[in-house]
Structure 1
């Protein structure tokens, strides 16, 4: 049984978690964390969503009919009572960021869609934005054809990392060690062009989960990916926490670049040769390690 959220003026912040598809693990960890922070938690998702297995959800709301029209109806009726609306489904965020005709969502969307919607809609736009804003990233090329990918391999030097603009959990990431590897890599990823080709950086990969207040970092949790499963570029199953201000300049610049509001994550690699941190991906959603913050006092 789910209790109703408090009234609009009772002083308790109310947060709405929105998930269109049911397998986003980061969203499942939000209710406990938000409850610890003193918020009341509502969830808008299909009834079968695993998010509803959490005992920390105060109100369950299921779409009646199509997802987006139902979400619009709910937000127009009750959205003013939420301190924060967390769109926690990356596919939904990226689709809405690039589609027109959803102006009703603007008050709750994590970025100004007119200014920054495109740059959170995929890996390729994020790379272009980083190059414009001076965010340190591995040297990169955007490729649409096999010949462009081969040219990128020659100019960047091998090995290179090739990733589709859309994908998660490493499902569309490949490493090419020789020029002969590139045709097969392109065939595997061609349905998902444009592709991002990046120089391979020898170093430790990690991630920072950040809470932004309209582009200003409020707090963050950073960690190395100590072990990944089931593939080298897949989700991490063991993490090593990182303390210190080393990543602050990067996270502050990404915040100014995106104007993001809410929880998101920046994946990075720390170059072994000089210790520099380079951004490699942006995840416009809460990611699973976010609830590890309490382990390190965040």
Structure 2
């Protein structure tokens, strides 16, 4: 595959989440083709910063809640330091939205898909995505967007439980989220108790619960060019996630699913999106429909799971397309497995206890892609392990010091009691 080695790539991330295997995967993917790779990192000791394929890092701690103007100015300074146009690879919604909404300012220093200005923000919003699904006839779970506590009270009287609550806007998780991730609510009493904490204007959505016993989790990753035509499109099934059934992918397989691929491609064409996408779908066996749960308008952390026979993944497809190169055609590597080492072990234990299985998962993998460990780039794996262990070591050290101080204080008290004359 002949990538343009004169055009570097830049991993753009806003917020404090140093253990992000997606960024490491992108650095490796393009770096192995000889493309110079740069990354924004929280500090010098992130897994991404330790990759042998990283040409340079820009230590820039952010929260994702900074003013857009400050973030744009920071990106422009990084562009000046790189010294030549670079392909932007956002790893979160904040970055994807910022790039789209400030494309005119960033275009001189960077390369990125010419997506419609307002579309990434709308797709990242649970309400915006639901409205687009309804508009274009794409199946989605039944959803309520309550505007007040009183509306929730009325809904609770007729709602079918259990149901799930999610933050309405993707960006809320960086500010003061009403709920922590996807929250399952068992009954009306539980809903009303939670709703009292959401204030007069609840920033949540209440969504139909699709029981795991009657559902399967599917993934679509793709890259669409400026005409919304798929240059790389992959489908897979999620076997395990962490937290169980509601978190990030821990274990998954590439599985051919022409029906789902066609549904996703048609939706993208209808809304006119271009760029990399990461879609979460849930197949509801009760009505035989795939329902769209999440639309991430950027690369997903597990994108390296998906690769074609020609060696193309979505990151490589974007770089090739934006630099005027042809994206080689090729079938996806069906049966290929993806494992996130640090979260799949606890996920495996949880899924075994629940007895949940995925019918469409292959009995045997045709190959395995690990999120962290790679023979040609092992340092990110050890850095990840060190960052996982460090909080535990710090806690044990603090506990030991605390107990030692307590013992010393107790000994001193006892000594005073034994020597009253002094």
Give the aligned CA root-mean-square deviation in angstroms: 3.5
Higher radius of gyration, 1 or 2: 2
The change in CA–CA distance for 1:264 and 1:54 in structure 2 (over 3 A counts) is: farther
Give the structure 2 partner of residue 292 of structure 1: 305
C-alpha deviation, 1:164, in angstroms: 0.8
C-alpha deviation, 1:237, in angstroms: 1.8
- Secondary structure of 1:263's partner? strand
Give the structure 2 partner of residue 208 of structure 1: 220
Give the structure 2 partner of residue 104 of structure 1: 105
Residue 35 in 1 paired to residue 31 in 2? yes
Tell me if the contact between 2:16 and 2:61 (Cα under 8 Å) persists in the aligned partners: no
- The TM-score with structure 2 as length reference comes to 0.58
> Which of 55, 74, 80 in structure 2 is aligned with 1:70?
74
The change in CA–CA distance for 1:121 and 1:235 in structure 2 (over 3 A counts) is: closer
> Which of 194, 208, 213 in structure 2 is aligned with 1:185?
194
Give the structure 1 partner of residue 9 of structure 2: 15
Gaps of 5+ in 1: 1-8
- Secondary structure of 2:130's partner? helix
Residue 162 in 1 paired to residue 174 in 2? no
Deviations 1:212-251 (A, max 9, x none): 2233322233322222223431223222432131212332
- Secondary structure of 1:93's partner? helix
Give the structure 1 partner of residue 293 of structure 2: 280
Give the structure 2 partner of residue 57 of structure 1: 54
Task: Using the TM superposition, name which of 49-58 and 34-43 deviates more.
Answer: 34-43
C-alpha deviation, 1:174, in angstroms: 1.5
Gaps of 5+ in 2: 63-69, 174-178, 309-331, 335-422
Tell me if the contact between 1:111 and 1:258 (Cα under 8 Å) persists in the aligned partners: no
Q: Report the Cα distance in structure 2 between the residues aligned to 1:188 and 1:110, rounded to whole angstroms.
A: 40
- The TM-score with structure 1 as length reference comes to 0.78
**Count of matched residue pairs:** 286
